[in-house]
Structure 1
Amino acid sequence: MSANQTVYLVSGANRGIGLGLVTALASRPNTIVFAGARDPAAQSLKDLSAKHPNVHGVKLTMGDKAGNEAAVAEIKRIAGQLDVIIANAGISNYYGPLAETPISEFRDHWEINTLGNVILFQAAHALLLASPSKAPRFALISSGGASMGAYFHMSTVAYGSSKAAANFLVKVMDQEHPALISLAIHPGWVQTDMGNQGALANGLAEAPETLEDSVNGILARVDQATSKELSGKFWNFRVSHGGKPWNIATEEILW
């Protein structure tokens, strides 16, 4: 492979935002996309790979150190390089007040949403930093619900705190690896199974943002992140002026 070829790894790729990202990237020229999922043989990925030979399903379970290392070894074997990680996998399984949220929910959310990304980065960083592009990127799909400076209450304390902790990892990556462009991206409140579940828990019929708009906005941020000046920051998938409490009307989001 070479700097003219861009190799992506997208985690949580068998549904929702992850599948949307892989589908959009698959149509790009000179691109190889590794779709990381607990079940890389999921029908959604099999169908996509049949249509786009540049898509490769790879088994990737968040929090599984040996499995993450094996996935990265498979990427190196097939493509020889890794240029962009879009760390999308995550869970949001509980809605309720802090006083009633079971400790087990905190552990589950932090294990996947925070420690899962630590393990992914530790497994992949050597190959990622060796990217022939000289501008490797690690993009964390975060959440506006993790922002303390633009706080909006959604009764998701386990999820929000785990994503806020994951955001901190982005700052650490930026400081420790000058060659790496690291960024957190708020994807919007999206019409996926997870997003709609949260919408129902907060009195809405469905989440307000379409999957297509979210994917387009996320990839625009990832594509633009070729300068170190954009690294170590929390970006909005798009500026929202809808006047709703969950809208964030700035490109850069307060941590």
Structure 2
Amino acid sequence: MSGKTVYLITGANRGIGYGLAKTIAARPNTIVFAGARDPTAQSLTDLAATHPNVHPVKLIAADKESNDAAIAEIQKTAGQLDVVIANAGIANHFGPVGTTPVSQFKDHWEVNTLGVIVLFQSAQELLLASPTGAPIFALISTGAASMGQFYNAAMSAYGSSKAAANFIVKALDAENPKLVSLAIHPGWVATDMGNGGAKAFGMEQAPVTVEDSINGVLSRIDGATKEKSSGKFFNFARSSAGNMWDIDTDEISW
């Protein structure tokens, strides 16, 4: 597949993942494997119908069998893998540590943390063999995972699971000399998940558009290098409007 850049995006059937898949698929010389629990979802069926370079694949977070099978399909179809965007995640409960059910912590850690580990373990052989010589593993994280810039938003299950995933990003950078491993805060985005969180805080919808988030996320992934990007936690875009959720730096402290 010389001259092509091959992407795997998880959670690609809706929200940020779908926006990434659609945007990248419209670029020349790209192949997009759109991972989803249900690869026959209408959104992916329609996207693949209009973009023959899009290949929906079944991929369930933290499920080794489906992750292994998705990577095998990529190997068979494209013969290489250059960029993995670990986007799949859940934010199903909002509450403080003292009252959040332990089951919610388990559910969030299963998807948001173990899902990232299983994904890398399945993909690593093919990804690290990328002909680019600098494969990228990008985690869609959240500012809510930052302990250095902590804000109390009662997201104990979600925030802790993403903070643990951030640690994995740092570890992957240290353990793999050629891998560009980075975490990206996509903003508080007006997706089903983001709007659900907004309503929990009395807002009509989340403040960041999907388009703005996608543009910001891709600005961090495009051209990422080991020297300038790897082992870092990036903000999708700086904002100094003064809202609780605004972060006015390009990088976010872990």
TM-score of the alignment, normalized to the shorter chain, above 0.5: yes
SS in 2 for 1:179: coil
Residue 138 of structure 1 is matched in structure 2 by: 137
Residue 33 of structure 1 is matched in structure 2 by: 32
Please list every run of at least 4 consecutive aligned residues from structure 1 whose deviation after the TM superposition is greater than 4 angstroms: none
Q: Displacement, 1:46?
A: 0.4
SS in 1 for 2:6: strand
Residue 52 of structure 1 is matched in structure 2 by: 51
Q: Displacement, 1:97?
A: 1.7
SS in 2 for 1:101: coil
Residue 187 of structure 1 is matched in structure 2 by: 186
The RMSD of aligned alpha carbons is 0.7
CA distance in 2, matches of 1:13, 1:101: 28
Return 113-122 or 200-209, whichever deviates more: 200-209
Q: Displacement, 1:183?
A: 0.2
- How do 1:72-91 and structure 2 match up within 5 A? 72-91=71-90
SS in 1 for 2:98: helix
Q: Displacement, 1:143?
A: 0.2
Q: Displacement, 1:169?
A: 0.3
Q: Displacement, 1:180?
A: 0.1
SS in 2 for 1:171: helix
Residue 218 of structure 2 is matched in structure 1 by: 219
1:126 aligns with 2:125: yes
- Measured against aligned partners, the alpha-carbon deviations of 1:110-149 in whole angstroms (never above 9, x if no partner) come to 0000001100000001100000011100000000000011
Aligned residue type for 2:117: V
CA distance in 2, matches of 1:48, 1:118: 28
Residue 66 of structure 2 is matched in structure 1 by: 67
Residue 169 of structure 2 is matched in structure 1 by: 170
CA distance in 1, matches of 2:183, 2:157: 18
Q: Displacement, 1:226?
A: 2.6
Q: Displacement, 1:228?
A: 2.8
Aligned residue type for 1:214: S
Aligned residue type for 1:178: P
Residue 18 of structure 1 is matched in structure 2 by: 17
TM-score normalised according to structure 2 size: 0.99
Residue 160 of structure 1 is matched in structure 2 by: 159
CA distance in 2, matches of 1:184, 1:251: 12
Aligned residue type for 1:241: S
Residue 7 of structure 1 is matched in structure 2 by: 6
Structure 2 residue ranges without an equivalent (≥5)? none
Q: How many matched pairs?
A: 254
Return 222-231 or 71-80, whichever deviates more: 222-231
SS in 2 for 1:12: coil
SS in 2 for 1:251: coil
CA distance in 2, matches of 1:140, 1:230: 13
CA distance in 1, matches of 2:12, 2:31: 14
SS in 2 for 1:185: strand
Aligned residue type for 1:15: R
CA distance in 2, matches of 1:144, 1:234: 9
Contact persistence 2:135–2:178 (CA under 8 A): yes
TM-score normalised according to structure 1 size: 0.98
Aligned residue type for 2:38: D
Q: Displacement, 1:91?
A: 0.3
SS in 2 for 1:85: strand
CA distance in 1, matches of 2:113, 2:252: 19
Q: Displacement, 1:224?
A: 3.0
1:100 aligns with 2:99: yes
